[in-house]
Chain A
Amino acid sequence: MKSATKPGPRWGRWIFGAALIGLMLFTLFPFYWAIVASLTSDAALFRDPSLWPEHLIFDHYRALFTERDFITPIRNSLVVAGTTTLFCLVVGTLAAYALARIEFRGKAPIMAFILAVTMFPQISIVSPLYLLLRSLHLIDTYPGLIMPYMTFAMPLTVWVLTGSIRQIPKDLEEAAHVDGATRRQSFTRILLPLAVPSLATTGILTFIYCWNEFLFALSFTLGPERQTVPVAIALFRGQYQVPWGEILAAAVVATAPVAAMVLVFQRRIVQGLTAGAVKG
């Protein structure tokens, strides 16, 4: 990519640089501070905090996995987010293929409908989903979370995948047809292999959305047995006071995998997000 704007006058570049550095500090400071605090004893947390801590302790992390059972929420989140993502990818790929490649009437309304559902306020279906899950005895179960998660994960998957499949040149499949491939063969042998990176990106996006979800997880679980990571962290309670050290240690643990994924797949995630949102 080339630069859109040429470097301006010297003072302009100074202001630009200073503002950018300020923004970066603003962006990174909370992470820095959370890591520092998660390594500081509770007693020292609010007593004249220093930006450069002297003693680092790992007690909070140890407590997270011994005194508290933080493994369970992690496992719950993995199961729920993983299952939802896989299911959405399988079903969503078929739909995205049809929407990107097959001409049929009703396509435009379907796209509009899917987009509309992605924007729809989750709170407006909490009450019936609660009553529905309760009557099916699915409150506080994995299916009782996976099903509601489909409401946002499925439209998201279909939308992003349709956008990225459209960017794969159509003439490759046409060439395959002329070479004698049936529709199914051109799908499995040409399109699918080429769509693997898009599938991976979409999967990561969907997974992140599920991993971060809070409202449904809070509404449809009852106790620590089935709580996901965000709910568990938000409801951390100590005996006498808020256990900030442990909360922040948990926050670091919950954030690290997502942050790592984002850093590794940064470029692809951005493409996936914007391909669906803004027409390129």
Chain B
Amino acid sequence: MAQISLEHVDKTYPNGYVAARDLSLDVADGELLVLVGPSGSGKSTVLRLMAGLERVTDGMIRIGERDVTDLPPQQRDIAMVFQNYALYPHMTVRENLGFGLSIRKQPPTVINERVNTIAASLGLDKLLDRKPAQLSGGQRQRVALGRAIVREPLAFLFDEPLSNLDAQLRVETRVELSRLHRKLGATMVYVTHDQSEALTLGDRIAVLKEGVLQQIATPMELYQRPANKFVAGFIGSPAMNFIEGVIQRAEGSAGRMGMCTFKGIDLTLDVPCDGESRGRVFLGVRPQHIEVSGDGESRPKAEVGVVEPMGNEQIVYVTLSGGDRLVALASPQELIKPGDIVSIRVRPEGVHIFEGQSGIRIEPSPRPIDS
């Protein structure tokens, strides 16, 4: 097993499309790092750069102690699971699993033994003589996994491996992958566009946008302290609400350091901040930090648009009188109907502030003791 590091990697395609821009990141030995981002963010390209299927325009890639920047894929000793599995259609499951070993001129007895062991551990032992076309989607997925594992590579790369599975199988396989990662203790890089997959699988998550690394952190940190507005909006479901406004040092809050007043069109709120007066900012708040109550008495008031019952909660879409739209989570006991006028309360402890221009997070000052 080995660590992978990218140092100032640039990737520009001949047509001018930039897939990676000055990208530096380290995948620690034994870590499962998830690369996540919307389509076109360059996440798959970064994976292909690691695999050697694409060449960097500039920068360096290291696997273990070795500089592999100029090595072709076959010399990098990594394994990759492709989105549509890329099983060799003309070979049986056994031949697919053993291909990497036979290319490396391992003796047939060794190949056989390893293939049998891996097949048994993945429940593929009865399918060894089938061709990929005769397998179900889940079985193909497992063959692709097995083909990667059988070689005991330095690292594993996954390119959206669950996207072709149905919802239930996807969850099962996700758990299976997590277990596999712990069992093998292997370095893994996993690409997905699905933020919930990223949160559940990753030791750490790297968020990419247009080829630029936005943040790399543990799932908890990413969720609780997103580095910018993009990450805040991308991670978490339903997505975070943003309200545009200005921040001023709280006037009447003498002695309460680190508190500011946020003024949006509809919303005025005391929020923790760094104590500076700022111009335009975005206030970010997750739906679960917005309380909706049916009395319609206290301010601000809002009109309910759509209610989506989810069983253990309901997602409520409201419009404030100034036109701001918010998404809130309410408990299923609340009786809320479209057209209702409701009161909105934003819990200050769940608030994030982002600079209006750059979208960069503004960290609140440490909270004073006397609050």
Instruction: State in angstroms the CA–CA spacing of A172 and B86 once bound together.
Output: 5
Given contacts A190-B88, A194-B89, contact A180 B151 (CB under 8 A): yes
Whether B88 contacts A178 by the Cβ 8 Å rule is no
For residue B356, give the distance in angstroms from its CB to the closest CB of chain A.
43
CB of A169 within 8 Å of the partner chain:
yes
Instruction: State in angstroms the CA–CA spacing of A181 and B74 once bound together.
Output: 6
Q: How many A-B residue pairs lie within 8 Å, measured between CB atoms?
A: 64
CB of B183 within 8 Å of the partner chain:
no
Whether B104 contacts A171 by the Cβ 8 Å rule is no
Whether B74 contacts A174 by the Cβ 8 Å rule is no
The residue in chain B whose Cβ has the minimal distance to the Cβ of A190 is B88
Whether B103 contacts A174 by the Cβ 8 Å rule is no
* Residues of chain A contacted by B82 (CB below 8 angstroms): 171, 174-175
* Residues of chain A contacted by B53 (CB below 8 angstroms): 174, 177-178
Whether A185 contacts B103 by the Cβ 8 Å rule is yes
* Residues of chain A contacted by B104 (CB below 8 angstroms): 180
In chain B, positions 247-283 with a C-beta closer than 8 Å to chain A are: none
The residue in chain B whose Cβ has the minimal distance to the Cβ of A193 is B90
CB of B2 within 8 Å of the partner chain:
no
* Residues of chain A contacted by B76 (CB below 8 angstroms): 178
For residue B102, give the distance in angstroms from its CB to the closest CB of chain A.
9
In chain A, positions 162-194 with a C-beta closer than 8 Å to chain B are: 169, 171-172, 174-183, 185, 189-190, 193-194
* Residues of chain B contacted by A183 (CB below 8 angstroms): 72
Instruction: State in angstroms the CA–CA spacing of A177 and B51 once bound together.
Output: 9
CB of B208 within 8 Å of the partner chain:
no
* Residues of chain A contacted by B78 (CB below 8 angstroms): 178
| B62-92 vs A, Cβ < 8 Å mask (1 yes, 0 no) | 0000000000111011111011101011100
Instruction: State in angstroms the CA–CA spacing of A182 and B83 once bound together.
Output: 22
Instruction: State in angstroms the CA–CA spacing of A185 and B79 once bound together.
Output: 17
For residue A145, give the distance in angstroms from its CB to the closest CB of chain B.
37
Whether A180 contacts B100 by the Cβ 8 Å rule is yes
Instruction: State in angstroms the CA–CA spacing of A174 and B159 once bound together.
Output: 13
For residue B206, give the distance in angstroms from its CB to the closest CB of chain A.
21
Instruction: State in angstroms the CA–CA spacing of A171 and B88 once bound together.
Output: 10
For residue B54, give the distance in angstroms from its CB to the closest CB of chain A.
10
* Residues of chain A contacted by B90 (CB below 8 angstroms): 193-194
CB of B226 within 8 Å of the partner chain:
no
Instruction: State in angstroms the CA–CA spacing of A176 and B100 once bound together.
Output: 8
Instruction: State in angstroms the CA–CA spacing of A182 and B52 once bound together.
Output: 13
Whether B51 contacts A179 by the Cβ 8 Å rule is no
Given contacts A171-B82, A185-B103, contact A177 B88 (CB under 8 A): no
Instruction: State in angstroms the CA–CA spacing of A185 and B89 once bound together.
Output: 16
Whether B86 contacts A175 by the Cβ 8 Å rule is yes
Given contacts A194-B89, A194-B90, contact A179 B99 (CB under 8 A): yes
* Residues of chain B contacted by A189 (CB below 8 angstroms): 99, 103
Whether A171 contacts B84 by the Cβ 8 Å rule is yes
Whether A179 contacts B52 by the Cβ 8 Å rule is no
* Residues of chain B contacted by A179 (CB below 8 angstroms): 74, 79, 99-100, 103, 147, 151
The residue in chain B whose Cβ has the minimal distance to the Cβ of A174 is B53
Whether A178 contacts B73 by the Cβ 8 Å rule is yes
Given contacts A171-B82, A175-B82, contact A182 B89 (CB under 8 A): no
Whether A174 contacts B86 by the Cβ 8 Å rule is yes
* Residues of chain B contacted by A182 (CB below 8 angstroms): 72, 74
* Residues of chain B contacted by A181 (CB below 8 angstroms): 74, 99, 103
For residue A209, give the distance in angstroms from its CB to the closest CB of chain B.
29
In chain A, positions 123-179 with a C-beta closer than 8 Å to chain B are: 169, 171-172, 174-179
> Which residue of the partner chain, among A169, A174, A194, contacts B73 with CB atoms under 8 Å?
A174
Residue of A176, A178, A182, A190 with most partner-chain B CB within 10 A:
A178
Whether B103 contacts A178 by the Cβ 8 Å rule is no
> Which residue of the partner chain, among A172, A175, A177, A194, contacts B72 with CB atoms under 8 Å?
A177
* Residues of chain B contacted by A193 (CB below 8 angstroms): 90
Instruction: State in angstroms the CA–CA spacing of A182 and B78 once bound together.
Output: 14
* Residues of chain B contacted by A178 (CB below 8 angstroms): 51-53, 73-74, 76, 78-80, 157
**Pairs across A and B, CB under 8 Å, 29 listed:** A171-B84, A171-B86, A172-B86, A172-B89, A174-B51, A174-B53, A174-B73, A174-B80, A174-B82, A174-B86, A175-B86, A175-B147, A176-B88, A177-B53, A177-B72, A178-B74, A178-B80, A178-B157, A179-B79, A179-B99, A179-B100, A179-B147, A180-B74, A180-B103, A180-B104, A181-B99, A183-B72, A189-B99, A194-B89
Closest 4 CB pairs of A and B: A179-B100, A175-B86, A177-B73, A171-B86
List 14 additional A-B contacts (Cβ < 8 Å) besides A175-B88, A178-B74, A179-B99: A174-B53, A175-B147, A177-B53, A177-B73, A178-B52, A178-B53, A178-B80, A179-B103, A179-B147, A180-B103, A180-B151, A181-B74, A183-B72, A194-B89
